[in-house]
Chains A and B, each alone.
Chain A
Amino acid sequence: MDRDQLTESLTKIKNELIKVEKTVDSRLYLVCESLNAHKVSNFIFKTLGCRFVTATAIDSFHYYEVLYHFSHDQTGTVLTVKALIRDRENPSIESIAQFIPGAQWIEREMHDLMGIEFRNHPDMRRLILADDWPQGVYPLRKKTKDEKVS
């Protein structure tokens, strides 16, 4: 399918999305709440048949964002599911590693560094922090001027 058909097929999940942003022709951002991110990713991976590339976690001041990047190889478009996690005390999102095994490690890394909990992740262990790093200290969260890390 070409890019226009791709954009049209996104109307099927219109109710789960807040909005669809297109920065350039080949990048589509699908912004949604964290509760809907699982269903949207499922749709893009299974129904549209896109390939999972990687994931990103961002600490924007008002909410945490988890971005899942999918590539639609036939048109060269990258669809990014941008999940907003409004709860800053205990950020948590449903893990997509249940149906995409390739997402297991990147979610472990996001948990290690940003402290986002991935519910129902099949194997949540420490990935990249040192063995003797204290639990519960997340280095990549934004800190106020007085806070130090560890």
Chain B
Amino acid sequence: MNNEMQILFWILVFPGFVFTAGLGLFASWLVRKVSALVQYRVGPPFFQPFWDIRKLLSKEVLIPQEANKWVFIGAPLVALAGVLLLSTVLGVAAFCSGKSFVGDIIVVIYLMVLPSLALILGSSASASPHAAVGTAREMKLVLGYELPLVLAVIVVIIKSGGALGLAAISENTPVASISGAIAFLVCLLCIHAKIGYVPFDMAEAETELGSGVLMEYSGGLLALWNLTSAMMLVALPMFLVMVFLGGVGTTAGGIALGLLKYVLVVVLIILIKNTNPRVRIDQAMRFFWIWCGLALIIAIVLATAGNIYGIGWL
């Protein structure tokens, strides 16, 4: 009984739904506010993302006549479930120490694909030509960044001596070495593309596609997508912190340092978002496969050499 209650608490309150949603909506406000300040504007007030979600919950839900109803409604639910589970697994490994299991980094990588897959399914069930173009672009983008993401995690696994559990991996700080730094930068860009921010927001390209993938969603379903997007803004930087930056400690000072690292990653995301234009899908694929792939192959070679010869900073 105690175990079930604890698991339910983990999933629903901390570090699950309530914590991730709250922190995520705060993070999305931070992104909008800092972007506004960079553009010499004032930006939205603090509770704006909360009011956005609340307003969307009170609007009517319109479903297109030719849409596949079950997939249309099920897709945002699947996406929310995926990101919820992802943040729970990461948060439990981060804050409740010793609760991670061997191989959970592979589970994390699989869970990270789930929201993108649900987005593709939901938008292709929309029966709309704009959504169809957005779906094609999103599919190609996912094909593009999944490979560098997995290669970057392989670099980390090599550097941590073959450990496959999140707790073991987050003991080290791979970013302090050359191969780790390369892998960190590439992984940061993959995360950026997964969240769907400029320069990789071609799936929801507002001026070109009129909202692209999410065009036919309204009301409560759109609120679910926005919530998923906000929660990804917590889960994915937390993944970077755990895997590359040395994780979150258990003492009060360690937790504070961990949150600082999280804020650092979010600030990097905001900086990349505000200084770049949107790229075309073929440019994005070329970038991920050729440039990031080459960089990561070099990083893997350096990491393996560092492991064999015992040089830490390679």
Asked if the two chains touch in their complex, CB atoms less than 8 Å apart, one says no
**Interface positions of A (Cβ within 8 A of B):** none
